[in-house]
Amino acid sequence: MFEIDKNARRLSQSEKQQYLEDGYVTGLPVFSKNAINDIHDWYEELSSKLPKEIDINKTNMWHKASKKFYDLCRTPTILDYVEDLIGPNFVQWGGQFFNKEPRDGSVVPWHQDAQYWPLSPANAVTVWLAVFDTDEENAAMKVVSGSHKLGKFVHKKNDAKNLVLNQEVSFDQLDETKIVSLNLKAGQISLHNDALLHGSEANNSNRRRCGVTMRFSPTNVKGDLETWPFFETQLARGVDEYNLNPTAETPRGEATPLKMFSFSHEFVKDW
Ligand SMILES: O=C(O)CCC(=O)C(=O)O
CA dihedral sign, ordered 46, 47, 52, 55: positive
| Residue 269 CA to ligand 1 centre (angstroms) | 30
Q: What is the pLDDT of residue 1?
A: 87
| Residue 87 CA to ligand 1 centre (angstroms) | 23
Among 155, 164, 193, residue to substitute to test ligand 1 (most atoms within 8 Å of Cβ): 164
Bridge partner list, 120:
222
Q: pTM of this prediction? A: 0.98
Contact 98, 200 (CB under 8 A): yes
The ranges assigned to domains in the chain are: 13-245
CB distance 141 to ligand 1 below 6 Å: yes
Contact 141, 188 (CB under 8 A): no
Closest C-alpha to 138, from 204, 229, 184: 204
Domain 13-245: homologous superfamily in CATH:
q2cbj1_9rhob like domain (2.60.120.620)
Instruction: Report DSSP state, residue 241.
Output: S
Residues with pLDDT less than 70, the chain = none
- Torsion, Cα of 190, 144, 55, 27 (10° steps): -20
Q: How many CB atoms lie within 10 A of CB 159?
A: 7
CB distance 113 to ligand 1 below 6 Å: yes
Cα atoms in the 13 Å half-sphere on the side-chain side of 197? 24
Q: How many residues does the chain have?
A: 271
Closest C-alpha to 203, from 117, 257, 139, 266: 139
| Residue 195 CA to ligand 1 centre (angstroms) | 13
Q: How many CB atoms lie within 10 A of CB 14?
A: 10
Gyration radius of the chain over CA positions = 17
Instruction: Enumerate long-range contacts of 150-159, CB under 8 Å, 24 or more apart.
Output: 152/112, 152/115, 153/112, 153/115, 153/197, 155/111, 155/112, 155/115, 155/116, 158/109
